[in-house]
Amino acid sequence: MVTEGDPTNFVKVFHLLVISFTWGMQVWVSFISGFVLISQVSMHTFGLVQSKLFPFYFYSLLGGNAISLSVYAVYHPRELLDWHESIQMALFFVSVIMAALNTQWFGPAATENMLVMQEIEKEHGLGSQVGMNANKEGYAKLREQDPKYKEHRSTFYSYHGLSNLCNLIGFFCTTVNLIYLALHLGTI
């Protein structure tokens, strides 16, 4: 849908608020909250909080990125894009894809495996300690003794790694788009 003229001030403010909200949420969840939480609560509490927080986080990212892409696409018809705008459109699109992957596959798969791991850990008296480095020997022993735990742990870390990668790629895309937007505040 090709639009006539420049976006209204309302659209500009709305677009800036949405992309700022998305970026701020990514900074908080990716670089602050997890590190603070893991050092203050037990491993199982940390996992429980993350299992409740991440679906909301991923859906919020997906919604925010989809809105940003939509607003940008409406005011930048494909036929009229220069190479800067094409890159920016691609970055918005990649952000949507990364959030969708986390929302639909990587996040739920990591959570599912984590919950199975926690049940096994509870059976062996693990998970109530605070911090990742507490009782390393107990976890190492559990990995050696229980092949089911070892398998779920391996699967969890695979999905967790893919989820982190998608999150960082999305964060990079949002950051570049926010910088570009800041440098061109007269337009979106």
13-39 pLDDT tens trace: 999 999 999 999 999 999 999 999 989
- Alpha helical stretches, state H, the chain: 9-27, 34-38, 43-75, 83-101, 107-123, 136-145, 147-183
Report the predicted TM-score, pTM, of the whole model to 2 decimal places. 0.90
Q: Does pLDDT of 2 surpass 50?
A: no
Where exactly are the structural domains of the chain? 9-183
> pLDDT class for 178, splitting at 50, 70, 90?
very high
Query: What percentage of the chain has pLDDT greater than the value 90?
Result: 75
Q: Are 127 and 56 in contact (CB under 8 A)?
A: no
**pLDDT per residue as tens digits for the range 77-101:** 878 888 989 999 999 999 999 999 9
Average pLDDT over residues 69-81: 88
Q: What is the pLDDT of residues 142-170, one digit of tens each?
A: 999 999 999 999 999 999 999 999 999 99
Q: What gap in Å lies between CA 95 and CA 118, rounded to an integer? A: 31
**Rounded CA separation 108/120 (Å):** 19
Looking at residue 1, its pLDDT comes to: 43
Mean pLDDT of the chain: 92
Residue 132: band (very low, low, confident or very high) from pLDDT cuts 50, 70, 90: confident
Q: Does residue 130 sit in helix, strand or coil? A: strand
> Could you tell me which residues come within 8 angstroms of residue 187 by beta carbon, excluding any fewer than 6 positions away?
6, 7
